[in-house]
Amino acid sequence: MSVTLRKYSRSIHLWLSLVIFIPVIIVIASGLLLQVKKEFDWIQPPTQKAQNSAPTLAFDDVLATVKQVPQTNLKTWEDIDRLDVRPGKGIIKVRGKNHWEVQLNAQTGEVLQVAYRRTDTIEAIHDGSWFFEGAKLWFFLPAAILLFVLWVTGLVMLITTLKSKYRKQKYQQKNRQRR
């Protein structure tokens, strides 16, 4: 029984690993980059620090300041994805839909840093949404489910192999004792 189960698990394991190879490689590679995003400024710009106090900068001033940064091409509120206010660090991060980030002093409006932010793109690649609308649900979710099945079949192969080795050792010990 265990030999048949092991053989069946090996076959499932092989074919599923071929089916999910590309999505799993994408998830692993992008996941590794996301794990070290704070270590590399190229992936995610480091958060600057200004005077630690409550923000006093008005939204109109935020937009006016960001408009003056030419490389970001942020001209209207429609160009801006979000504002990340960090009172503890005294800054406001303005994140554009085009992935440019401007960090401002939350009181004076001084531009502390301008950088391209790759984290959002890497996250979209990681979950599959970067490729096309349905990739997340129709490719990456099934690949995750199949990866779980791969784990289960690998576990079955491990257990049946260990059981077989244990039985073989026990059989050999009995034969040695008889001699």
pLDDT of residue 3: 67
Instruction: Please say whether the beta carbons of 95 and 101 come within 8 A.
Output: yes
62 CB-contact burial (10 Å; exposed 0-12 / middle 13-18 / buried 19+): buried
Which of 116, 114, 110 lies closest to 55 in space, CA to CA? 110
> Do 57 and 111 sit in the same domain of this protein?
yes
User: For residue 177, is it within any domain?
Assistant: no
Assign 104 to helix, strand or coil.
strand
Q: Residue 87: count other Cβ atoms within 10 Å of its Cβ.
A: 12
> Do 71 and 98 sit in the same domain of this protein?
yes
Which of 110, 56, 59 lies closest to 87 in space, CA to CA? 56
pLDDT of residue 64: 96
What is the per-residue pLDDT across 4-24, written as a single tens digit (0 to 9) for each? 877 888 888 888 888 899 999
Q: Which amino acid is at 108?
A: T
> Do 140 and 162 sit in the same domain of this protein?
yes
Instruction: Please state whether beta strands 80-86 and 100-105 pair in parallel, antiparallel, or not at all (unpaired).
Output: unpaired
pLDDT of residue 130: 94
The per-residue pLDDT of the chain, averaged, comes to 90
Among 117, 136, 157, identify where a domain stops: 117
- Its pTM stands at 0.74
pLDDT of residue 174: 80
> Do 60 and 104 sit in the same domain of this protein?
yes
120 CB-contact burial (10 Å; exposed 0-12 / middle 13-18 / buried 19+): middle
> Do 97 and 138 sit in the same domain of this protein?
no
Q: Residue 9: count other Cβ atoms within 10 Å of its Cβ.
A: 21
User: Bigger pLDDT: 8 or 159?
Assistant: 159
- Residues facing 85 on adjacent strands: 92
**Counted domains in the chain:** 2
pLDDT bucket at 52, cuts 50 / 70 / 90: confident
What is the per-residue pLDDT across 26-46, written as a single tens digit (0 to 9) for each? 999 999 999 999 999 999 998
Q: Name the residue range of residue 138's domain.
A: 1-42+123-170
